[in-house]
Chain A
Amino acid sequence: MAHAYTPGLKVVEKMIITKDRRLPLKGEVMAKVGDIVKSDTIVARTELPGNPELVNIANKLGIEAGEVPKVMTKAVGDFVKKDEQIALAKSFFGLFKTPAFSPIDGTIENISNTTGKVLVRAPAIPVEVKGYIDGKVIEVLPEEGVVVESFGTFIQGIFGIGGETVGEMVMLAETSEDPLRVEQIKDSMKGKVVVGGSLVTIDFIKACQKAGIIGVIVGGIDDYDLRQFLGYDLGVAITGSEDLGITLVTTEGFGKIPMADKTFGLLKKSNGRKASINGATQIRAGVIRPEVIIPLLDLKDKTESEQKEAAQGMSIGTIVRIIRDPRFGEQAKVVRLPVELNVVQSETKVRVLEVELKDGTRWLLPRANVEVIEL
């Protein structure tokens, strides 16, 4: 039977989900194997070295760099407060005294007799890593963090903005084709994640920010609106660090595109549940896609987990989504997988497949231009 490999996004109703929760630097792990953690439980913490400040003492005091160690009133390792004197130069037999002060609270780390600069390092910055998903610690990564395991629904988006956030989901669309409308927003949605069908607009996002809504999950967004949302034209798809008070997860792409039926169905079914979402996207080697995780720990039967991978083979009957014009965004069924190379309209010679669209028409297109949708 004809078979082909094609990439796809993972959309699974019930599966075991594991998340590495790692510190950026080595530190202390706060949880142990077997611990039950919530999304806001601190599982590891460390301290990042504080920001350094270089103070040019030689310049400030009008002396040679080599003289700086002699005029210091504080030594390496001393803690100093902001505006505290750290050096004092005397001239005219001690008649005139010129002091130099610390610009920040911190510790003297280095005194250079070559450049005349003194390095004051601010106190360490505490960094904490939370559980992010409700679940159980199954592994401790010594000095780095933990692996949390959960059971629930896992949905990969295609593109997102903003980092990790957790909130209750509110479904605002009747069908996957419904765009999100500003008048649907209510005060009661503060701190929640809203879900729409085909499109989110800049007006809707701004209204969400005003209403304190922390997340939006939707089929598509126009690039014009994304530019207004970010305040700049996104050049490279590396996102997640934006600090806009809201996380956006699009499941289909740019433009008005109805959310895939399965994704929409799962989100609708999960209305009112707690979701952990992350808009972080990196479309490079080591691709990172945005995600929606809906823990289902209250379900007793965890044996029915589906461990199907979306990035799997494609064969006759597989349902795919067309991911390039023409017919972009439409779902179709694979009816033929010819082995030989075919020339498409652009004269490009490629491997193709034939699909049947919902309206019954058949279409030949490059295999690279579809992705598998699981049903």
Chain B
Amino acid sequence: MVKMKKEEIKSILATDCGSTTTKAILIEQVGDEYRLVVRGEAPTTVEAPVEDVTRGVLNAATEVQELAGRPILTADGEAIEKPRKGNKGVDIYLSTSSAGGGLQMMVAGLVKQMTAESAARAALGAGAIVMDTLATNDGRKDHEKIDRIRTLRPDMVLLAGGTDGGDVNKVIALGEIIAAADPKPRLGISYQLPVIYAGNVACQDKIKEILQAKTALDLTDNLRPSMERENLMPARLKIQQLFLEHVMSHAPGYPHLMQLVDDEIMPTPAAVGSIMQRIAHQDNIQVVGVDIGGATTDVFSVFQGVFNRTVSANYGMSYSISNVFADAGLANIMRWVPFDINEAHLRNRIKNKMIRPTTIPQMLEDLMIEQAMSREALRLSFDQHKSLATGLKGVQKERTIADTFDQSSGGETLVDVLALDMLIGSGGVLSHAPRRCQSAMMMMDAFVPEGITRLTVDSIFMMPQLGVLAKVHPEAATQVFEKDCIIYLGTCIAPIGGSKEGQKAIDGTITKDNGEEISFEVNFGDIKVIPMPVGEKAKIKVTPYKGLDMGAGKNKELESTVYGGVVGIIFDCRGRRPLPIPEDRHARIDKLEKWYTAMNMYPTLKVSM
């Protein structure tokens, strides 16, 4: 825990140790506010030959001190100088980590759609990748479940099951399956696998009897004490505690890193989730955030105050790009590509990106293909998120257990794109797109926001560091987030429904704070952009026609607020539920050319493969 008083903290170094790169940021108090000073990075060093994560941290910090023009490390370069003395060092050092593949977990619960799903939510919210979810009713035989546990070799197992006072025998049976598998951890063969039991309290003694000798068992509160209530926080905290005590302490160099930091190392996704929750809570808004990486895509949401996170472990832009192609299919990828390409050629290109993941699209057509792939990776990840971010299933009107099982799919998704206030994009393909309008369009195509939605991107992906900082110094984290981290792209205005191509879809006025009034009219099938700079805010009145709905009802006028951004106010009247893209090749290319031109997406659209 940080010993220094919050008000004494003037200079902060924070790192995020990713699988491939360690990113360091230096934050300092400038006048009354905290600002990002510089950012440095270096390759992560958990692998041979270095096998010590701190080396990458010190290298990234070295870049920071060179850019900042003042020493941050000790004279021998082997530690961080703390606390700051004059021009030397920083007051505190914090870190997050997802190096070595992050935290990989298996979860188990009684009923797949109830306690097992709650267990998955607990693990995901704690920053884990859920490798598999075992449940009494998952359709697999005992020996298949045992085989699965043995094959996957997770870092940790979370065993839930049974509401308090509920079923005992089936929960114990799950414990017996885990014991029978005699699971071994992924990192190292000399320590016991951590297993957390967060199920029916009545089974705790029996679970101890079954699992204590074979695993590093830990008990915590039931994460689903009743059908109507989830209590995920104790299990999440326990996961993060065991992650540090068992998993991280066996990763190369982490015991050393743990000595350097002033607060606990957080799993990267948990830190990002924490900052997302902070934004939603602070502004009382509904938020969806996404971090699309090379191997995985994380989606976060806060709706009605409920935080959810999912990770699509095999959707990403380099290591996992081939999996996006396999799952989305050629036709879905081509929906976004404004030219023709031979499938065999495209397949080889995608596989070559997978095996050489660090390459960069040099040619425009390559960029267009990568951005098409990203839309599908985002769409698939968002679909997965919607299916898990649900209300509690099994909360029944009828009170018999039979009905509970029958109606297990009754939990509705909490994700309501019409109610969504802000979309936050992050990750290389969104943060580093050559034109910001490309990031806006990728998010609009993948998430298909409805009504009025603010679009933003993380400028240089510093949300993990801000997430861990928020634990120690919330004000500093918020100030840096607003001033240096987030880039406001603008506001998307999209009516729901379908109409006839070329007919008037919406019209209305935008009234700025200075009284300036801008009228607009957009036809169905079109996209239109009205520039409005970052920092400007305006009142908007929108009237939809021909049965279209802005959220106030069909053909009903809506009054709201819109915010400017580097792209501006984007009227997306292409239609919703679904977003119609012509199947015919020529019609599709014509449409894409029209939309991309309206958004000023690319320097030219006349490319060929």
The answer to whether B351 touches A54 (Cβ under 8 A) is no
A353 to B600, CA, bound (A): 29
Chain A positions 118-175 with a Cβ under 8 Å from a chain B Cβ: 119, 121, 144, 158-159
* Min CB–CB distance A91 → chain B (angstroms): 23
Residues of chain B within 8 A (CB-CB) of A281 are 355
Check: A110 CB closer than 8 A to any chain B CB.
Answer: yes
The answer to whether B355 touches A53 (Cβ under 8 A) is no
A240 to B150, CA, bound (A): 18
Check: A265 CB closer than 8 A to any chain B CB.
Answer: no
Residues of chain A within 8 A (CB-CB) of B181 are 52
Residues of chain A within 8 A (CB-CB) of B360 are 324, 344, 348, 350, 366, 368-369
A202 to B586, CA, bound (A): 34
Check: A65 CB closer than 8 A to any chain B CB.
Answer: yes
Chain A positions 21-68 with a Cβ under 8 Å from a chain B Cβ: 24-26, 49, 51-54, 65
The answer to whether B184 touches A286 (Cβ under 8 A) is no
* Min CB–CB distance B188 → chain A (angstroms): 11
The answer to whether B319 touches A54 (Cβ under 8 A) is no
The answer to whether B603 touches A347 (Cβ under 8 A) is yes
Contacts A52-B181, A283-B354; A365 near B362 (Cβ below 8 A) = yes
Cβ contact of B349, chosen from A51, A325, A349, cutoff 8 A: A325
Cβ contact of A255, chosen from B101, B206, B352, cutoff 8 A: B352
Residues of chain A within 8 A (CB-CB) of B352 are 253-255, 323-324, 328
The answer to whether B169 touches A345 (Cβ under 8 A) is no
Check: B15 CB closer than 8 A to any chain A CB.
Answer: no
**Shortest Cβ distance from B100 into A: residue:** A285
Chain B positions 366-397 with a Cβ under 8 Å from a chain A Cβ: 366-367
The answer to whether A25 touches B184 (Cβ under 8 A) is yes
Taken residue by residue from 255 to 288, chain A's Cβ proximity to chain B (1 for < 8 Å, 0 otherwise) reads as 1000000000000000000000000010111110
Check: A306 CB closer than 8 A to any chain B CB.
Answer: no
The answer to whether B348 touches A254 (Cβ under 8 A) is yes
**Shortest Cβ distance from A158 into B: residue:** B355
A25 to B182, CA, bound (A): 12
Check: B75 CB closer than 8 A to any chain A CB.
Answer: no
Residues of chain A within 8 A (CB-CB) of B434 are 346-349
Check: B113 CB closer than 8 A to any chain A CB.
Answer: no
Contacts A326-B363, A346-B364; A254 near B355 (Cβ below 8 A) = yes
**Shortest Cβ distance from A323 into B: residue:** B356
Among the stretches B25-33, B141-149, B444-452, B487-495, the one at the interface with A is B141-149
Contacts A235-B314, A284-B295; A114 near B363 (Cβ below 8 A) = no
Residues of chain A within 8 A (CB-CB) of B322 are 233-237
The answer to whether B177 touches A54 (Cβ under 8 A) is yes
Give the number of residues in A that approach B within 8 Å (Cβ atoms). 56
**Shortest Cβ distance from A224 into B: residue:** B344
The answer to whether B362 touches A284 (Cβ under 8 A) is no
Contacts A51-B147, A253-B351; A347 near B435 (Cβ below 8 A) = yes
Taken residue by residue from 316 to 329, chain A's Cβ proximity to chain B (1 for < 8 Å, 0 otherwise) reads as 00000001111010
Residues of chain B within 8 A (CB-CB) of A65 are 169
Interface of B is mostly: helix
Check: A212 CB closer than 8 A to any chain B CB.
Answer: no
Contacts A25-B184, A344-B362; A52 near B326 (Cβ below 8 A) = no
A61 to B142, CA, bound (A): 19
Contacts A235-B320, A345-B364; A284 near B19 (Cβ below 8 A) = yes
Cβ contact of B363, chosen from A254, A285, A323, A345, cutoff 8 A: A345
Cβ contact of A346, chosen from B177, B327, B348, B362, cutoff 8 A: B362
A69 to B603, CA, bound (A): 77
Taken residue by residue from 326 to 360, chain A's Cβ proximity to chain B (1 for < 8 Å, 0 otherwise) reads as 10100000000000000011111110000000000
Cβ contact of A233, chosen from B326, B348, B357, cutoff 8 A: B326
**Shortest Cβ distance from A352 into B: residue:** B362
The answer to whether A112 touches B176 (Cβ under 8 A) is yes
Residues of chain A within 8 A (CB-CB) of B364 are 345-347
* Min CB–CB distance A362 → chain B (angstroms): 15
Interface of A is mostly: loop
Check: A105 CB closer than 8 A to any chain B CB.
Answer: no
**Shortest Cβ distance from A343 into B: residue:** B434
A281 to B357, CA, bound (A): 14
The answer to whether B362 touches A345 (Cβ under 8 A) is yes
The answer to whether A235 touches B101 (Cβ under 8 A) is no
Chain A positions 168-209 with a Cβ under 8 Å from a chain B Cβ: none
* Min CB–CB distance B276 → chain A (angstroms): 24
A12 to B361, CA, bound (A): 30
Residues of chain A within 8 A (CB-CB) of B44 are 285
A255 to B342, CA, bound (A): 13
A265 to B407, CA, bound (A): 67
Residues of chain B within 8 A (CB-CB) of A110 are 176, 179-180
A285 to B190, CA, bound (A): 22
The answer to whether A114 touches B351 (Cβ under 8 A) is no
Chain B positions 91-144 with a Cβ under 8 Å from a chain A Cβ: 99-101, 142-143
**Shortest Cβ distance from B177 into A: residue:** A54
Check: B173 CB closer than 8 A to any chain A CB.
Answer: yes
Residues of chain B within 8 A (CB-CB) of A121 are 180
The answer to whether B362 touches A114 (Cβ under 8 A) is no
Cβ contact of B176, chosen from A25, A51, A54, cutoff 8 A: A54
* Min CB–CB distance A322 → chain B (angstroms): 10
A328 to B169, CA, bound (A): 61
Check: A305 CB closer than 8 A to any chain B CB.
Answer: no
The answer to whether A119 touches B176 (Cβ under 8 A) is yes
Contacts A223-B347, A285-B47; A236 near B319 (Cβ below 8 A) = yes
Check: A10 CB closer than 8 A to any chain B CB.
Answer: no
The answer to whether B366 touches A346 (Cβ under 8 A) is yes
Check: A98 CB closer than 8 A to any chain B CB.
Answer: no
Check: A228 CB closer than 8 A to any chain B CB.
Answer: no
**Shortest Cβ distance from A369 into B: residue:** B359
Residues of chain A within 8 A (CB-CB) of B177 are 54
**Shortest Cβ distance from A119 into B: residue:** B180
Residues of chain B within 8 A (CB-CB) of A233 are 322, 325-326
* Closest A-B pairs by Cβ, 3 of them: A235-B323, A347-B434, A285-B19
Given contact pairs A285-B20, A285-B47, a sample of 11 additional A-B residue pairs in the complex whose CB atoms are under 8 Å apart: A110-B176, A117-B173, A144-B189, A222-B344, A222-B348, A235-B323, A255-B348, A283-B357, A365-B362, A366-B359, A368-B360
Q: Which residues of A contact B (CB under 8 A)?
A: 7, 24-26, 49, 51-54, 65, 109-110, 112, 114-115, 117, 119, 121, 144, 158-159, 222-224, 226, 233-237, 253-255, 281, 283-287, 323-326, 328, 344-350, 365-366, 368-369, 371
Q: Which residues of B contact A (CB under 8 A)?
A: 19-20, 44, 46-47, 99-101, 142-143, 146-147, 168-170, 172-173, 176-177, 179-182, 184, 189-190, 206, 295, 314, 319-320, 322-323, 325-327, 344, 347-364, 366-367, 432, 434-435, 602-603
Cβ contacts A to B, 22 pairs, < 8 Å: A24-B189, A52-B181, A110-B176, A159-B351, A223-B347, A223-B351, A234-B351, A237-B354, A237-B355, A253-B351, A283-B319, A284-B319, A286-B47, A323-B352, A323-B356, A325-B362, A325-B363, A325-B366, A326-B363, A346-B362, A347-B435, A348-B434
